[in-house]
Structure 1
């Protein structure tokens, strides 16, 4: 409430007090006329006699002590995660419990975001109606299917003629375990080198690889996989939703990795590869995944190894 509004309300209360003295001469009649209780009138009168006009201004109704209120430190962490990563209440709740041993419900997080005026995400991040979303699915066994795709990137701070780089990404459909690597070229030879790197790095056998119809996943790449005893399927043209997991992971890269590199000079391809590897390790071993119920991909892999039917 603004100072002007507080002043206006205080003048109204003063007018009620003056009405008894100058007009009605009767407290009960004035209270009936203004629609207030006698208790309210005498409370205003007492404040006016003790503090003058300032005593008639509205005061905060907040309790003096709130032992169950969320601490300022936790609120600061919630707002930082929201503004830095655009996390929703559920993801923020997961992060607080995992990394700060703070248990707070998603609804409690939302109330704090609403109070701070940051409950609405940017348009590109907003929740979609159920009828406009695609049904989620996942394979039940690690390695049953990998989704592989390519994302164009441009390392920051390059001088002179800028070089083009490509982030190759492979994600396991079951565990969401990912392998990332940046290359200066985007062709079948590079795609073959990347898939060989992926197969050497993953701790389980791969049965099938799914890609889009890009030229880098042409016949040479296809037969390379067949020779290794791995199936290769391509999604229908113009249906990137069928590669939804790898496409979504690229959006996470943009929001939580590349966006936070803004202003940082990285003009060395090797340094960039180091940073990308650090991000891959964080994604696989430390970042709680919403679709996995707060588990990391590595934790989901361990769970599947212990109980394949889970």
Structure 2
């Protein structure tokens, strides 16, 4: 058995010596002929390799013509596994952070590592992008009850509207409406203009009323003139309205908005204190109407009255509610009016 091992080792050495001898013969042939190109052609060697072997022969002698030993698979400067684990943990704790911010956090902990190396580690572990980290975070906690940080919640809410709105699920049109007051901008000669918006959480059907104030009377007007008549005509009840804690919606026990809801038998629900974004449906509508309507028409048209702007808003709301398909888990490509009509007998 020992003899076989010796033979194998000797065979490897003989093969290395034989290969080096062949390379040396090419060098000698080129020297004899005085023509490197012809020597390489005869021996089937490219000139780049010829000059490399010539350089190694000049600096290392015959041993330099032998193949170099294989490179170790584990690089001596490979990032230690505990550091890799810490990078992965930070990526999930702070999914919105990139390589630069994780580099800074590691530096505070006494670990020096470049952001490029950190990004390579994240890529290798399937955490290279924000979406990757978001999916990993949801997957890691999909089957268990967890307490997530405010930062993690904000990140998930930003990327996943369904997550943000789950707490206000409704089972029918009118069951729960979301209301909010949105600052539109300043009109020359008029002043500040506000949008008093109401959105049905079941199918995104929306209402909007423009006014120069944020008073409770303006917030009530959109309910009295638009919202309640719409549902009454369809014989659909309005059960509850969700608002934030702004002054136009709540205050003393004799607050006008509170009294109006009580008079019409509508439950008033409020968002959690200091978290107005929990009213996610109307928050998303505000962003949509800002991007798709106000920023477009107010660049093209000079409005000298609120009524003129309201007329164009009403036309856009017809498009939003009855013509524009809405994606997402609520509508799934249907128009808001379709979700309402599905409950009308």
TM-score by length of 1: 0.55
Matched, 1:152 2:189: no
Tell me the CA shift for residue 141 of structure 1.
Answer: 1.2
Tell me the CA shift for residue 166 of structure 1.
Answer: 0.9
SS across alignment from 1:217 = coil
RMSD of Structure 2 on Structure 1 (CA): 3.1
Q: What 5-or-longer segments of structure 2 have no aligned partner?
A: 1-34, 51-128, 139-151, 158-162
**CA distance in structure 2 between the partners assigned to 1:27 and 1:178 by the alignment:** 82
Q: What 5-or-longer segments of structure 1 have no aligned partner?
A: 1-18, 35-119, 122-126
The higher relative CO (CA closer than 8 Å, separation ≥ 6) is in: 1
* Alignment match, 1:303: 342
Tell me the CA shift for residue 233 of structure 1.
Answer: 2.1
**CA distance in structure 1 between the partners assigned to 2:299 and 2:214 by the alignment:** 26
CA contact (8 A) 1:166 1:185 kept: yes
CA contact (8 A) 2:40 2:47 kept: no
Tell me the CA shift for residue 144 of structure 1.
Answer: 0.7
* Alignment match, 2:289: 253
Matched, 1:163 2:195: no
Matched, 1:213 2:245: yes
Alignment of 1:1-310 (within 5 A): 24-26=40-42, 28-30=44-46, 33=49, 130=138, 131-132=152-153, 133-134=156-157, 135=163, 136-137=165-166, 138-154=169-185, 158-159=187-188, 161-197=189-225, 198-202=227-231, 203=234, 204-218=236-250, 219-261=255-297, 263-268=299-304, 269-291=306-328, 292-305=331-344
**CA distance in structure 2 between the partners assigned to 1:32 and 1:186 by the alignment:** 80
Tell me the CA shift for residue 265 of structure 1.
Answer: 2.9
Tell me the CA shift for residue 201 of structure 1.
Answer: 2.5
TM-score by length of 2: 0.50
Tell me the CA shift for residue 20 of structure 1.
Answer: 9.6
**CA distance in structure 1 between the partners assigned to 2:218 and 2:298 by the alignment:** 27
**CA distance in structure 1 between the partners assigned to 2:301 and 2:215 by the alignment:** 27
Count of matched residue positions in the alignment of Structure 1 and Structure 2: 195
